[in-house]
Amino acid sequence: MGRASSRKKYRAPRGTGSRGKGRKNWPWYVAIVLIVGVGVALIAFSRGDDGAEAARPTVDDHFHASLNVNICGTDIGPAPEFEQAADNANLIAGVHSHGDGLIHTHPNSNAEAGDNATVGLFFRYGGWSVSEDSITAWDDQTHTNGDSCEELDGREGVLRWSLNGEEQDGNVADHVVACGLACGDENDQIVIAFLPEDEEMPAPPEPVAPSDLPTEENPEASVPVPEGAVPDETLPEGTTPPGDGAEPPASPPAS
């Protein structure tokens, strides 16, 4: 019995030896833990980013942005009212015009929410187009960088745009229509102008009262999601969401 007991005591140091060997491998275990931790953090950050994008605007939001288009020094007036997509009369969409000088944005689906709710989407839904260097608006004329402005001594015009009175760089078609008038302030006042580079940009318009929000005169005003709304996660055929190097989708909106 004594010998058996001594053997057990002898085997214990062997175990201790193997634990010592494990301690030599601790840098490897630490590296694995760090790699897993970084991976989890990146996934969480990515998901958080997506959530932030989806919040501006979501299918529960109702935003308005004023939009003025100036061609060679002349304001061409508000975008005409439209309720269906220009290329699909059955498509009721959530980024559209009531003819009041505002972009009305209340997405009917995720296909129109977040980064998809752009100025480019509004133009495409209305049957027009806008890019970094060209515009075809409701004056039924195409104006491309380098075209002359006869009204301004024949000088060459370029496509420019401003947001809340400050001239911007980049493609106005990619601008996501965010809060603004729906939040009780004057943000997202957008001016698109085809003008010579040395011409002063037009001032943003005075805020307009949205025509589809409740008022004392029309307390029942509301915006239900109508039949024919863009299916969830679906964009009109032949369109590309912004962010892929292409301009936003094309087809007209709903009320």
pLDDT tens per residue across span 189-206: 899 999 999 999 999 877
Structure confidence at residue 225 as a pLDDT band (50, 70, 90): very low
* Angle at 83 (CA atoms; ends 77, 89), nearest 5 degrees: 125
Question: Per residue in 177-212, is it b (16+ CB within 10 Å) or e — as a string?
Answer: bbbbbbeeeebbbbbbbbbbeebebbebbebeebbb
Does the structure show a pLDDT above 80 at 106? Answer: yes
pLDDT at 171: 97
If we measure between CA atoms, which residue out of 190, 131, 184 comes closest to residue 166? 190
Query: How far apart, in whole angstroms, are the C-alpha atoms of residue 126 and residue 122?
Result: 6
29: its two tokens: 């275990």
Is pTM beyond 0.75? Reply is no
Q: Which of 55, 50, 96 is closest to 178 using CA atoms?
A: 55
